[in-house]
Amino acid sequence: DQVGIAALAIPEEYGGAGGDFGHEAVLILAQGAAGLSGFGGSLHSGIVAPYILHHGTEEQKRRWLPRLATGELIGAIAMTEPSAGSDLQGIKTTAIQQADGSYLLNGSKTFITNGWHADLVIVVAKTNPSAGGKGTSLMLIERGMPGFSVGKRLKKLGMKAQDTSELFFDNVRLGPEHLLGGKAHENRGFICLMEQLPWERLQIAVSAVAGAQAAIDWTVDYVKERKVFGQPVAAFQNTRYTLAELQTQVQVAQVFVDKCCELICTDQLDTATASMAKYWTTDLQCKVMDECVQLFGGYGYMWEYPITRAYADARVARIYGGTNEIMKE
């Protein structure tokens, strides 16, 4: 809140900065250049808050957006389950309406970014299990609700500055005001998810390009200083050719991502194009990280070097937000 970087794309009337995706993209680029993977700020500001802005009732917007904007509340979104990842229609968590109009939420989620610290969680649940994807709704859960518990913090390969947890729901009773969008959005959760996909996937692409560029910059500096056989590693033609190829590919990817950012700011970015950007840039990011670690030699495998941590952080980008195989579908 003190530096004003939360909820950049949320209107000022709800406590945000009044910007658009372009402002979020600048922040993501800056974090990528610095090699920062935590906390899950882009998810908090760029996914959770927009879900409430675009699909919430006026009461829900005024109740939660201002506190998300100040950081008083930390947000998370709970989609993935132990047996359902990219296949969101296969989720088993349910929110069944009772005779008094309330809902009983039961089930569990895993791999939830910000799950350990979250004060407000958007939970994907089946309100009409027999209808499959057409019976899905988005429920708003607050920390401290009876029956809502947070499991252990999961130990990951990378992204160690970003908490990832399991969440459990045991007969959590929710009032109608906890259904995102109210009664009009009941069983329309899957439609809401699909509408937000371009925004979510483009964030991952922006981050991937930023991370790849940072890796090249670190590596260029390193190979100029590191000497092998009496000369800088940069003096070898293989080093120069490798870096030239990587920089060209990242530059091309940046142009594509910039175009996608222009499109999304005018609501013209379709899901297919966003999927192209997500899979292409995250594949490239991992390729760049691998080549750069190689040029660092043994030091590229040492945890105190940023390139090592970035290498570990990058791998999950081809999995989260929908696997890259799903992107191609």
Rounded to whole angstroms, the Cα distance separating 73 from 113 reads: 14
Give whole-number Cα distances, 152 to 74, 109, 145, 164, 166, in Å.
18, 12, 18, 9, 6
Q: Which residue has the tokens 């030699």?
A: 297
Rounded to whole angstroms, the Cα distance separating 177 from 114 reads: 23
Residue 288, φ and ψ in degrees, nearest 5: -60, -45
Q: What angle do CA 109, 204, 160 make, to 5 degrees?
A: 60
The b/e string for 189-219 (b: 16+ C-beta within 10 A; e otherwise) is bbebbeebbbbbbbbbbbbbbbbbbbbbebb
Rounded to whole angstroms, the Cα distance separating 115 from 91 reads: 18
Catalytic residue ranges: 200
- Tokens for 269, please give them: 């970015």
Using CB atoms within 10 Å of the CB of residue 274, give its burial: 0 to 12 exposed, 13 to 18 middle, 19+ buried: buried
Provide CB contacts within 8 A for 312, sequence distance 6+.
157, 158, 159
